[in-house]
Amino acid sequence: MHIFSQSFKYDHSWSHVVIGMWHKYPNPHCTHVVNVDVLDRTIDPITGIIRTERVLGCKQKAPSWIVKLFGGSEDAFVREISFIDPATQTATITSVNLSLSQFATCYERIQYRPMSSTQTAFTQTAEIQARMAMWRSMTDKFEDWLVQRFEQNAISGKAGFSDVLRTMWEAKEKQTAPS
């Protein structure tokens, strides 16, 4: 198993970041995410926590040896569940791959928490594990490729989300600017 982890801050309020979460895709930095479907959304009447379940459709260019070994296509799907807690100002998102899950699992957890009124902390961890016990060298190679792909997507995701937040901020500033 490989673990990927990163933390940084966004120079935007927690509420701005949470609104931006719903507008992250599509964006030109994350062209691999081609659609997002909301399956379910509920609000707990006691706690006020908003739970949303979505499926992300992705196109991933896999190396030919992976396609030959496992079959499949470039189409991949990810299940995402988010919990937005307005009382504690915590947003937690978990996701897991649905495609090729019999061969490998990527379990990701993201959390947004306010650092101040104008900054939001972002933490991300991913546990990536391949399941090919009889071929340890192939398992290692596959996990290495998955980690590299995840890191590339994380870099693109950060750039894309930063652009989404900046665009939202600029639009808000235009709306509130005196004419």
The whole-number pLDDT of residue 179 equals 64
Q: Is the pLDDT higher at 67 or at 55?
A: 55
Q: What pLDDT score was predicted for residue 63?
A: 64
Q: Which of 10, 94, 13 is nearest to 52 (CA)?
A: 94
Confidence of residue 134 (pLDDT cuts 50, 70, 90): low
* Chain segment 100-112, per-residue pLDDT in tens: 788 889 999 999 9
Mean pLDDT for the chain overall: 88
Cβ atoms of 153 and 29 closer than 8 Å: no
User: What is the amino acid identity at position 58?
Assistant: C
Domains and CATH numbers, the chain: 2-172 (3.30.530.20)
